Amino acid sequence: MPTIQEMRSRLDELRGLYLRATPAQRYKVALDRVTVPSSLPNLLIQKVSAVEGFSRSMALEAERRVGKRVEDAYAPLRYLNGVVLIRDHIAPRFRTDPEHLFDPDDWDLFALAVEYRNFLVHEASSLRAGYCDAMGAACERVLRKLAEVSGVSP
């Protein structure tokens, strides 16, 4: 498995490659992403988005429990990514920080997965399997831990 630092460095390299790529080169990657919806980059996007959506629902529920109307609570939470939702809205509710709520490597990989998700979505790029597997597995573990601490875990 690649190290977290290697994956961080690779993200910077991929951004540089994207900037120098021609539209024809980007089109091939974009077409692959559209025609293979079950590709690993697409699955990583889904996993990050799943954690983000569940995190937002937990943050909304916490606001509702202190008497805030859901409609009023949603606007400030609407565009926050999963890292910010967990770090600023969920972990404090449990009087902790993400590094203690989750395995530290899982938290680092999830935070990196959010960055990669943004890159994959906005640049229609691709990513090697080992990276997707490592970050995707961390997303699943973060989601399961969130479900456990929220009391909705089966």
What pLDDT score was predicted for residue 123? Answer: 84
- Count of structural domains within the chain: 1
Residue 137 located in a structural domain: yes
Per-residue pLDDT of the chain (154 residues; tens, 9 = 90+): 789 999 999 999 999 988 898 999 889 888 988 998 899 999 999 999 999 999 999 999 999 999 999 999 999 999 999 999 999 999 999 999 999 999 999 999 999 999 999 999 888 788 888 899 999 999 999 999 999 999 997 6
Handedness of CA 123, 124, 130, 132 (dihedral sign): positive
In a domain, 105, yes or no: yes
Residue that the structure tokens 């629902």 belong to = 57
Distance CA 144, CA 37 (A): 24
> In a 3-state reduction of DSSP, which class is residue 34?
helix
The full 3-state SS of 116-151, as one line of letters, equals: HHHHHHHHCCCCCHHHHHHHHHHHHHHHHHHHHHHC
Domain that holds residue 82: 40-150
Residue 52 lies in a domain: yes
Token duo for residue 146: 């969130």
Question: Does the residue 46 lie in any domain?
Answer: yes
| DSSP, residue by residue, 38-103 | TSHHHHHHHHHHHHHHHHHHHHHHHHHHTT--HHHHHHHHTT--HHHIIIIIIGGGGTS-HHHHS-
The Cα–Cα gap between 109 and 51 comes to 13
Residue 14 lies in a domain: no
CA dihedral 106, 61, 97, 102 (to 10 degrees): -20
pLDDT for the residue 115: 95
3 falls within a domain: no
**Is residue 116 situated within a structural domain?**
yes
Residue 106 lies in a domain: yes
